[in-house]
Amino acid sequence: MVLTDTELRSFDENGFLVLHEVLGSDELREIRQAADELCALDGDRIPEDWREDYRYGALVGAAVNTGSMLCRLEYPLAKDRRFLAMVANPAILAVAADLHQDEVVLTWEDMVVKTPGSGEPVPFHQDDLFQSRASRVFSIGVYLDDSTRDPLLVYPGTHQLGPLSESQVEAWVAAAKEPPLRVPVSAGDAIVHNVRMIHGSSANTSTLRRVVYLEFRTPDQVRYDSPWDEWWLERRLSIVPAAIRERAALGWGVNPAWKTAEAKTDWSVRIPPSPGDEVYLRVDHKDIAQRRQES
């Protein structure tokens, strides 16, 4: 275990946990460079088969896919091997394994880009797209930039309300007696959040803020409590082993602050083996719905 009992209890009670210095300075520099390069692409310079992954305008609401301000980059692992290597950061995998107490599989990856002056807030919400209904899901948001002036805003404990509709979230927030809690962090830190905790952020008027969100579930959660099936799971299972190999190939270590993560984790036990040799780095979330329609 890398998380203490106090941290585990706090996560259960509040629905979020701050992890400091998950990325060391070298890894942070590499990931930022990868993000800079991908964010700098626009128009015809974006390879054709990546275009649908570049999202503009706002993450939610009427301004989704409007204008030219990048707000989200989907499926980053296939676009730069450094993002893939980051998935195998020992701190990230050890925290995921501690919180699930089981094998883990990556079920979501994207980069939120809050461009300064874009004016688009992230309205309060629970993450409900493709969600598990009966079991706990969490996402690890790795910060590439300081969020001091544009932090994540959370309502601690609200994951305990269970799944809510958009209008129920809106009503709950309107009636809340306390303002949301600001959770500012530094570049290289991460915030784990229970996807049911009500969270959001204001319009970014300060500096660029990018966060890579990595959601982990267990293979059985995917099998028995998710919209996906064994076909999708098999492809997803190839990602973490590929990330471990990529990280070793790049020679990336662990930030000294998380040395125990490396020492205490026996990856061969916690990471289910990939069912085949093929590596799938862009396993679309919508594939299952499309395949069901086609069959």
Ligand X SMILES: O=C(O)CCC(=O)C(=O)O
Q: Binding residues for ligand X, per CB under 6 A?
A: 59, 112, 122, 127, 152, 199, 201, 211
CA dist 94 and 103 (Å) reads 11
Q: How far is the CB of 209 from ligand X (least distance, A)?
A: 7
Nearer to ligand X, 103 or 127 (CB): 127
Q: Which residues contact 148 (CB under 8 A, 6 or more apart)?
A: 184, 186, 206
Q: How far is the CB of 227 from ligand X (least distance, A)?
A: 17
Nearer to ligand X, 163 or 241 (CB): 163
Nearer to ligand X, 139 or 255 (CB): 139
Q: How far is the CB of 199 from ligand X (least distance, A)?
A: 5
Q: Which residue is nearest to ligand X (CB)?
A: 201
- Alpha-helix residue ranges (DSSP H) falling in 72-149: 81-87, 90-100
Nearer to ligand X, 122 or 281 (CB): 122
Nearer to ligand X, 101 or 165 (CB): 165
Sort strands 181-183 and 209-217 into parallel, antiparallel or unpaired.
unpaired
In our burial notation (b when 16+ CB lie closer than 10 A, e otherwise), range 191-213 reads: bbbbbbbbbbbbebeeebbbbbb
CA dist 85 and 243 (Å) reads 5
Q: How far is the CB of 122 from ligand X (least distance, A)?
A: 4
Nearer to ligand X, 59 or 144 (CB): 59
The answer to whether the CB of 233 falls within 8 A of the CB of 60 is no
* Residue in 288, 291, 286, 281 with CA at minimum distance from that of residue 86: 281
Instruction: Enumerate the β-bridge partners of residue 199.
Output: 125, 154
SS3 state at 165: coil
Q: How far is the CB of 222 from ligand X (least distance, A)?
A: 20
Q: How far is the CB of 253 from ligand X (least distance, A)?
A: 27
CA dist 279 and 275 (Å) reads 10
| Tally of residues, the chain | 295
Nearer to ligand X, 113 or 254 (CB): 113
Nearer to ligand X, 201 or 226 (CB): 201
Q: How far is the CB of 261 from ligand X (least distance, A)?
A: 24
Q: How far is the CB of 132 from ligand X (least distance, A)?
A: 16
Q: How far is CA 207 from CA 10, 63, 112, 118, in A?
A: 30, 21, 14, 11
Q: Which helix (H) or strand (E) holds 241?
A: helix 239-250
CA-based end-to-end distance of the chain: 44
